[in-house]
Amino acid sequence: MEAKTHIAIVTVPVYSHLRSILEFAKRLVHLHHDIHVTCINPTFGSACNNTKALFESLPSTINYTFLPPINLEDLPHDTHPAIQVQVTILCSLPLIYDALKTLHASTRLVAIISDGLISQVLPFGKELNTLSYTYFPSTAMLLSLCLYSSMLDKTISCEYKDLLEPMEIPGCIPIHGTDLPDPLQDRSGVEYKQFLEGNERFYLADGILVNNFFEMEEETIRALQQEEGRGIPSVYAIGPFVQKGSCNEGSDTECLRWLDKQQHSSVLYVSFGSGGTLSHDQINELALGLELSGQGFLWVLRPPNKFGIIANIGAEIEDPFKFLPNGFVKRTEGRGLVVPYWASQVEILGHRAIGGFLCHCGWNSTLEAVVRGIPIIAWPLFAEQKMNAVLLTNGLKVALRVKVNKKGIVEREEVAKVIQNLIVGEEGEEIRQRMKKLEGVATDALKDDGSSTITLTQLAHKWRGLSLGVA
């Protein structure tokens, strides 16, 4: 029998965002078998194997369609990946609307859920006379900043990075202006204007679904929910959504076999997400810091990139080992393992040998650490990652943050010190205990009577009622 309740999800061609929203879709249909989901996916270029694997792992109650690829040949060859995504989104909007209109005519959609990066879709819900939601794959803290950004823009006259005191965002811990997302570091730039415009569109949403659980950001979520009915959309904490295992069959098991030989909680896992990269100088300092620390490590290494991010995570063009210090691999043999480009992070973080995670504080990676109780060394690179680092270190106190010198480099001595503090120090043990408690709360949130499950079920009941014609 065909499902009566039909939801459309509109994604963006960003691997980390795809992972998050597809995990949400899988959780939704797992809990509510009568809900059917169709994913509409804007594209540019050809999908890499990692992206294909995400879609091929979806259950039968989730359909997906890839829109015709957007031609980006008119853009300069060295265009930043973020701009490529923005152009793809803008050029895909007519295609998205047509796809939604066709889908609505044949299945009567009860809701459209679009990724937070593509808030231009929100007005389509009103045009099609259906509910329209934003899926927000980051923190409630960032959401609060987004929703109050216009107010902050009117009340603060200087550049945020020049503020002498930490900023007060409603419901959030204080944060220095230098730790705000990249678009807010230059208020005269195009990115800042686009940031404000996108945030204003959030107010068109019938609700905002946040990939976090109530107990992790209780004060922030409560503050947002108290403003419902006074302009701010309803906020639903329904996470955490993380991958349960690798989507790639036959993924490399070398690192897992190596971990099997290591002592319990003795290894630091080092990775900067699905595409983050470091400069050559920073790779050198990180390597020498790992060596100096004397601790075990498993490092996913990528070559430098001028943007600090690899657009095509499936591309393995350059040998990253040539950027390591001479003799580093030989000197750390047995104690450390360097893996080029990619490793199965979900499986690695679940291994008994992992005692810490040096990461960029991307939200997917952060939640993967939380649900496995792995303490963090925060090394933010771009986007909202510095905000996430502030939440983890100052708010939840489950991470140590590296200090950057005046040239923007984390020096080897700093690397060694923070690793030792986390893996064998007293401070690290206190952080580990707090993270273990947070792991338990995250697990509870996804139980049948947990806060996230109850919230998602309430939404599902609302959508089911609409499909049956119940107001």
> Which residues carry out catalysis?
17, 115
First to last CA, the chain: 24
Q: Is the peptide bond before 233 cis (omega within 30 degrees of 0)?
A: no
Per-state percent for the chain, helix, strand, coil, to nearest 5: 45, 15, 40
Rounded distance, CA 138 to CA 364, Å? 8
290 Cβ contact partners less than 8 Å away, ≥ 6 residues apart: 268, 270, 297, 299, 332, 336, 415, 416, 419
| Gap between the Cα atoms of 451 and 423, Å rounded | 32
Non-local CB neighbours of 429 within 8 Å, separated by 6+ positions: none
Residue 471's Cβ-count burial label (10 Å; 0-12, 13-18, 19+) is: exposed
What's the rounded Cα separation, in Å, for the pair 342 and 203?
Answer: 38
* DSSP bridge partners of 401: 378
- Which is nearest to 283 in space by CA: 421, 409, 413, 422? 409
Distances (CA, A) of 349 to 259, 267, 275, 367, 375: 11, 10, 18, 11, 11
Q: Which residues on neighbouring strands pair with residue 354, listed in sequence order?
A: 267
